[in-house]
A and B are shown apart, each in its own frame.
Chain A
Amino acid sequence: MIRNLNIVLFVTSLFALSGVYGLKYAVEQTASEKAELQSRIARQQSNLSLLKADWAYLNQPAHVGPIVVRHEAELNLQTLQQDQFGRFDGLPMRLKAPDDDALDSLFESLEAGIDPIQQIISEAQ
């Protein structure tokens, strides 16, 4: 009875021993994997932060402004003047009905072979 128990205990302890041994190595490997992942994350975070800083720098008015100034002459860039703004109420409303007389005279002149645009240009000159 006692002998059987001893054998069972002995076998169990053998298994436990080899189990613990294996576990130790598994943990060590996991730990080194974790360390590697952590250093990779840190490296990527560092790269990401550098890229974000680059992006922020490139978007700064302090960075874009001098580029605009450099190309001012080439692109004929000027400060926006107040009279360059328009308003919706400044636009003429659409006519309620077509201006029949004006259209008739336009068609007549077209049939007579006069280009209205050419006419305006020649009048201006």
Chain B
Amino acid sequence: MAVIDIESDALIALDGTRKERGNLTRGRIRWVTAVLVLVFGVVAGRLIQLGITVHDTAIEGRERDAITASRPAILDRNGLELAVDIRVPSLFAEPRRIIDVDEAVEKLSSVLPDINKDWLRGRLTGEEGFVWIKRELTPALQEKILQLGIPGIDFVMESKRFYPGGTESSHILGAVNIDNQGIAGIEKDMDDENVALLQSLGLARGNELAPVNLSIDLRVQHVMHDVLTDALTRYQAIAAAGVMMDIQTGEIVALVSLPDFDPNNPVTALEKDRFNRITSGIYELGSTFKTITMAGALDSGLVKITDSFDARFGVRFGRFTIDDFHGKHRILTVPEIYKYSSNVGTIHVMQTFGKDNFRAFLSKIHMDTTAPLELPEKRNPTVPAKFSEIVAATASFGHGLSVSPLHMLRAVAAFVNDGKMVVPTLYKRTAEEARATYEQVISPATSRKIRYLMRLNALEGSGTRMNKFAGGYRAGGKTGTAEKVVAGRYDSSKTLALFASAFPLDNPRYAMVVLVDEPHNENAQSGHTAGWNAGEATGRIVQRVAPMLGISPDFNQVLDDQLVPVELR
């Protein structure tokens, strides 16, 4: 079959039949391979596409896990619930899956009559993945809506915060918003700590979170709330607040500030005057400050409990003369100065102590820094950085400087706890943990003298009204009636009444500060000074809570006698 072309120079190679067939087959195989590669390539591509598709589960920009996330239950120190989560259905729609918007609107408004139809129509039209329709419904309503059988409408189980105690512990607990994030109080603190992190990681679902124990004793909290609510009407006051602390562990046992709000309806917290007066109110604390002046002066050794001071005449500073409210106008011993709450005597005590020493002592007991507590609502105290003669004089009886009642509580607690100052907390804490925060601010010997002075004031001084109710529980403390500044001047008709106390003073366990804002006389026979309102309220609280806290009454005279310092026996 070979043909040879003589005229051409090039060699012509001709393939054999077998070889030609072989070439053809190889070409076909190549085609088949190419097609197969293409087909499998498409399959692989599709698989990759499916693999990398992110399923959009976000609801209005928030992760579904974050929305269904729960918060840990908050319990009091004995395990009673202060805040719990309830699971409630929330209605949402997927507008891109809704076929007939008008039908859906009609059906939904038959079950939810208070919903605006035009708003709902606008909500359901469009291409969004998720839109809320109504959050936090009841299970009965959920059942009705499910029976309507509307496509593109579904429920998600949300956690809703419920505070079974209502207003009672509102200032401690704070509140959460509709997305279950803490916006105030301990709820906000827990978020700042770690709950928010857990929620964002989607770990806080179901009942997985361990409940949190607070230091609050709900029974004591109830009594304090009850007594202070009564005080508001009894003394026609504009506000009342109280706080009680375990002096050894620093645990806040109760904290009430009236007027308060309902955490189940957080909007009420925004009303006027609903702030937490214990932590975010700063006041001129008046004569309760004399306890601090005495503690500093006695601890320095420059003033002795046996000393006497001339309180016959007022103290002059330029144009001003400071005189006594309960004036005795004679020479007073240190216990008498405290008992009669003599401003003049206290100024002399402070002057013997030295104004710079006094200012340094205020720093030592942290009067000029924000009081540490887990609540986010706090305000800085205003204490002048340097004391002039007159500022030091007024500061010695609690005027010209503003601190929160929590500052006073912490100081009083340290003074009766052998001089050991503890960091207060709202979470349950053991004695060992508390001891790590101890700071020695005065000596145990001075602490014993302060305990004597506080008890003496309850037996013979301005605290007798308190002792009338709390007799037998060895309570004692210092009153303070501070005139409020109205339009730049002290107004004697508007006062802030305080009582800073501790009990039982033979073996102190609890310290308490109660304040009543702008009290009036209960009746014609009673006075308007702090002993009559804040003092009585303190007595009523002690009388009711002491048995709950395991303190039994004891009228034995020996206990009071033992408090008297050896020098005075």
Contact = CB atoms under 8 A, between A and B. Distances in A.
Nearest to B146: A39
B16 to A, nearest CB: 29
A57 interface: yes
Interface residues of A, number: 23
Interface in B217-234: 218-219, 221-222, 225-226
A56 B472 CA distance: 34
Nearest to B85: A49
B530 to A, nearest CB: 23
Interface stretch (B1-9, B46-54, B158-166, B359-367): B158-166
A42 B142 CA distance: 13
A49 B226 contact: no
Contacts of B218: 60-61
Contacts of B477: none
Nearest to A87: B552
Interface stretch (A9-17, A78-86, A99-107, A110-118): A78-86
A47 B543 contact: no
B88 interface: yes
Contact of A52 (B84, B89, B206, B472): B84
Contact of A85 (B85, B164, B219, B552): B552
B238 to A, nearest CB: 23
Contacts of B222: 61-62, 65
B44 interface: no
B473 interface: yes
B547 A49 contact: no
B139 interface: yes
B157 interface: yes
A53 B157 contact: no
Interface string A20-64: 000000000000000000000011011101101100110111110
Given A65-B222, A82-B553, A60 B80 contact: yes
A49 B139 CA distance: 12
Contacts of B547: 80, 85
A60 B206 contact: no
A46 B84 contact: no
A62 B87 contact: no
A62 B218 CA distance: 9
Contacts of B553: 82-83, 85
B253 to A, nearest CB: 14
Contact of A46 (B80, B157, B165, B226): B157
A46 B88 contact: yes
B80 A56 contact: yes
Interface string B136-170: 00010000000000000000010000101111100
A83 B547 CA distance: 12
B249 to A, nearest CB: 22
A46 B85 CA distance: 10
Q: Is the interface of B mostly helix, strand, loop or mixed?
A: mixed
Interface residues of B, number: 33
Grouping DSSP codes into helix (H, G, I), strand (E, B) and loop, the A interface class, with mixed when no group exceeds half, is: helix
Given A49-B85, A49-B86, A53-B84, A82 B471 contact: yes
B84 A49 contact: yes
B81 interface: yes
B312 interface: no
B84 A56 contact: yes
Contacts of A61: 165, 168, 218-219, 221-222
B87 to A, nearest CB: 4
Q: Which among A50, A53, A61 has the greatest number of chain B C-beta atoms within 10 A?
A: A61
Contacts of B166: 60, 62
Contacts of A65: 222, 226
B544 interface: yes
A46 B86 contact: yes
Contacts of B81: 52, 56, 59-60
A14 B221 CA distance: 76
A60 B165 contact: yes
Contacts of B85: 49
Contact of A53 (B80, B162, B207, B473): B162
Interface string B54-91: 00000000000000000000000000110011111100
A56 B88 CA distance: 17
Given A52-B84, A82-B471, A42 B157 contact: yes
A45 B87 CA distance: 7
Interface of B: 80-81, 84-89, 139, 157, 162, 164-168, 206-207, 218-219, 221-222, 225-226, 471-473, 543-544, 547, 552-553, 555
10 contacts: A46-B89, A50-B87, A53-B162, A53-B164, A60-B80, A62-B164, A62-B167, A80-B547, A82-B472, A83-B553
Given A59-B81, A85-B552, 16 more contacts: A46-B89, A46-B139, A46-B157, A49-B84, A49-B85, A49-B87, A52-B81, A53-B162, A56-B84, A60-B168, A61-B219, A62-B167, A62-B222, A80-B547, A83-B472, A83-B553
List the 3 closest A-B pairs by CB distance, nearest first. A61-B222, A56-B81, A46-B87
Interface of A: 42-43, 45-47, 49-50, 52-53, 56-57, 59-63, 65, 79-80, 82-83, 85, 87
